[in-house]
């Protein structure tokens, strides 16, 4: 993989993370009593972990959750993934001699592709759940 594609894939990974985080916030705001926009405003600056905890509690109140325990575990995992790519995605290879032809770079490329595929799939699942949830709560048509 050329470095330009690596940069692009990092951007795609961050996009998936941001989509998921935003969907989680909308899911919580949509389930919570009150005005959707006001609910979003109240949580817009909370981090993903805090909003996930709030959503999981609210989602499980009726013992018929939209998201499974496995989904919540996966959503918690993206925080680790996002932090890894934000802080270590480049430093795990960039200081090596001939960095772009190193085994470390090749390993990072594969890890990036795997993480991107995982997050893209998770993002699509969460988006579908968000839309269904918002319909069920009469927040959208």
pLDDT tens, 64-109? Answer: 999 999 999 999 999 999 999 999 999 999 999 999 999 999 999 9
Backbone angles phi, psi at 31, to 5 degrees: -80, -25
pTM: 0.90
Number of C-beta neighbours around residue 60 at 10 A: 14
Considering the chain, what is the average pLDDT of its residues? 95
| Residues 6+ positions from 120 with CB-CB distance below 8 Å | 12, 16
Flag whether pLDDT at 141 surpasses 90.
Answer: no
* Residue carrying the six token digits 């998936």: 16
Alpha carbons 8 and 56: distance in angstroms, whole number:
32
Range 35-45 average pLDDT: 95
């Amino acid at each position: 993989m050329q470095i330009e594609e690596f940069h692009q894939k990092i951007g795609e990974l961050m996009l998936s993370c941001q989509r998921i985080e935003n969907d989680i916030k909308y899911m919580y705001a949509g389930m919570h009593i009150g005005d959707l926009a006001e609910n979003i405003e109240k949580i817009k600056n909370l981090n993903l972990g805090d909003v996930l905890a709030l959503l999981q509690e609210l989602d499980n109140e009726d013992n018929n959750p939209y998201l499974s325990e496995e989904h919540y575990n996966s959503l918690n995992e993206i925080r680790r993934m996002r932090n890894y790519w934000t802080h270590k995605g480049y430093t795990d290879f960039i200081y090596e001699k001939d960095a772009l032809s190193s085994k470390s770079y090749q390993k990072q490329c594969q890890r990036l592709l795997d993480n991107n595929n995982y997050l893209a799939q998770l993002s699509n699942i969460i988006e579908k759940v968000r839309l269904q949830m918002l319909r069920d709560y009469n927040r959208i048509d």
